[in-house]
Amino acid sequence: MAKVCSICGRNYHKANIINKLRGKYNRAGIKKQRINLKWKVVDGKRVRICTRCIKTKTRP
């Protein structure tokens, strides 16, 4: 199962890991920051939606 929002299609983005002691041999690495996905029933189907879509698209 992919970690992608069913509505907007967002997935992860890359972020730098900042080390306190950075130098020639201790460079900053790269990590994946994943989005916050929740299970939600939309139109009778159970889908994974990011919290941004829950806030904007499912308001009463």
Q: How far is residue 50's CA from residue 58's CA, in Å, rounded to a whole number?
A: 11
- The per-residue pLDDT for range 39-50, each reduced to its tens digit, is 999 889 999 999
pLDDT at position 33 over 80: yes
- The proportion of the chain whose per-residue pLDDT surpasses 70, expressed as a percent, equals 87
Instruction: Tell me what pLDDT residue 35 has.
Output: 92
- 39-45 long-range contacts (CB < 8 A, ≥24 apart) are 42/6, 42/7
Q: What is the model's pTM?
A: 0.66
Average pLDDT, the chain: 84
**Domain ranges (residues) in the chain:** 13-57
Per-residue pLDDT band at 36 (split at 50, 70, 90): very high
Give the span between the Cα atoms of 1 and 50, in whole angstroms. 15
